[in-house]
Amino acid sequence: MGSTQTNTTDRSFAKRKIRVLVVDDSASVRKALCDIIASDADLEVMATASDPYVAAERIRQEIPDVILLDIEMPRMDGLTFMRKIMAQRPIPVVICSSLTEEGSETTIKALEAGAVDVVSKPRMNTAEFLQESRMRICDVLRAAAHSRLSSRARAVVPVRIEARHTADVILPPVIPGRATAPLTDPIICIGASTGGTEALRDILVALPAATPGIVIVQHMPEKFTAAFAKRLDSLCAMSIREAAEGDAVLPGTVLVAPGNHHMVLERAGRQYRVAIKDGPPVSRHRPSVDVLFRSAAQAAGPNAVGVILTGMGDDGARGLLEMKAAGARTIAQDEESSIVFGMPKEAIQRGAANKVLPLDRIAHEMVHEARRGRGAA
């Protein structure tokens, strides 16, 4: 398949609303989603469809800016339909899925096949949950409409960093007159949102097993983060799992913040552990990149590397600036390689990034910077 890209940032949404095609077999879910979309001044429902065949007819009549797509539907499932769209006429797709283990695994396959992001179906049990669902769905639809969309499903082609200098990866350089071991282990903190699932995959498949411990906040609903971590673990040399309360952050280990919970980094001797916290959204998100980065600034200081990847909004920009002020080395993904250049742009504009790099250089650079860690006391 070709490598042509459709840059939807070229579309002008300044004079019109973003048009959304809602595809779901449940009439009540379609109505709830339509009500949510209608509540946002930037969005409008172009049409609705009860299954992919009806959706295809709607698309023949008018091209939407974004498709909000269910996975489990009669006659044709959403994943098959999305693959047909990506092969014939790429349109940004946001998956709207139930919070089930089976649905989560299928949703991860959809993200790998080209879906821009995933949202959970609206929660209507309380006004608070409904408001959070509304905010998340509308934010993701806006981000998808402004995304750079690849028209090809990307195969996993690991380009690993050479691991023959394993000791150098784990330990900072030896300085004459000082102890040969650092006072704390180096640690890498990564934040991402829309487009981040594939960006993280590209980075993590390139890393050797001996890479310093990594903690990640990827904006995803609960249940999906476990399936996402499991999929990455099957592809990468490092051990990757959804974080749990008190997990140690060890070399060769990647911890992904669980959906709907904040993750905080804490000092534990010369190592670190994570705490999983409830609480309101921060910077419009839970988990929040700002929460993780701010805790890393306090717990790890100059022995941390902070990386902010593709995503809409400003979550992580303030936290990355705090990490930089504490002596951490900080990296932002560049505009050209970002699906949505929102979070990195905010960080760059605030002076929070030491370096701005394309995605294919970030894995090497963050390991190099971690190797240079100064061993915070």
Q: What residues are labeled active site?
A: 193, 219, 315
**DSSP letter assigned to residue 223:** T
Distance between CA 93 and CA 21 in Å, rounded?
10
Contact 81, 47 (CB under 8 A): no
- H or E element in which residue 66 lies: strand 66-69
Phi, psi of 93 (to 5 degrees): -120, 130
- CA 346 to chain CA centroid, Å, is 16
Distance between CA 186 and CA 176 in Å, rounded?
19
Distance between CA 176 and CA 180 in Å, rounded?
9
- H or E element in which residue 158 lies: none
Burial of 89 (0-12, 13-18, 19+ CB in 10 A): exposed
